[in-house]
Amino acid sequence: MAEKTAQENVVPEFLTLIDSLARAHHRMSLYDAEIHRLSGSELTAPQAKVVFCLGGTEGLTCSEITERTLITKGTLTGVIDRLEQKGVVQRWGDSEDGRRIIVDLTRTGAKLYRREYPRFVKAMQARFGNLSDRDCKQATRLLNKIAAQFEAE
């Protein structure tokens, strides 16, 4: 069996970064799901993302929701269908462009938003609270820089 050279054993630092990003995303996703499970809201994490995205707006198009939540269009349709069945959102055609669908919170959805969003923020604050504003800004800047490396040209 051939011996590996020292150069073959070197792992590029960006691969370590990729692993760290994946680990952080995985752990945060699990925590996010647990927050919603324990709240009793009966919302999944993607459903909560949509409710939180719509809160404080007069409705958004599916494209706008996709852009803000990063939920794919195919998945978003099912999420909105289930939220509509729960009476949390409603949708209608845009009066200026019939091809566009507007999604908005119902009264029940707005009430859910007002109750659940502060709980979510408080729960996430418990995990991010020991990061300074400077740390958060630096991490945001670096993550945006990483994301930009994958933007379509």
Helix runs in 40-106, H state only: 45-54, 62-69, 73-85
Q: Which residue do the tokens 């209608």 mark?
A: 92
Domains and CATH numbers, the chain: 30-148 (1.10.10.10)
User: Looking at residue 131, what DSSP letter applies?
Assistant: S
Look at residues 25, 73, 65, 67 and name the one whose alpha carbon lies nearest to residue 48: 65
| Average pLDDT rounded to a whole number, residues 119-138 | 94
Cβ atoms 89, 103 nearer than 8 A: yes
Residue 93: what pLDDT? 85
**Nearby residues of 92 by Cβ (< 8 Å), 6 or more positions away:** 101, 102
pLDDT confidence of residue 2 = 58
Give the torsion sign (CA, 145, 149, 152, 153).
positive
List the single range of 21-30, 92-101, 108-117 with lowest mean pLDDT: 92-101
| Cβ neighbours of 112 (radius 10 Å) | 23
Chain Cα centroid distance, residue 13: 27
Asked if residues 51 and 112 have their Cβ atoms less than 8 Å apart, the reply is yes
User: Residue 52 and residue 69: Cα distance in Å, rounded?
Assistant: 9
- Kindly report the average pLDDT of the chain as a whole number: 91
Span 60-70, pLDDT tens digits:
999 999 999 99
144/92 Cα distance (integer angstroms): 34
This prediction's pTM? 0.83
Q: How many CA atoms lie within 13 A of 107 on its CB side?
A: 0
For the segment 29-47, the average pLDDT, to the nearest whole number, is 92
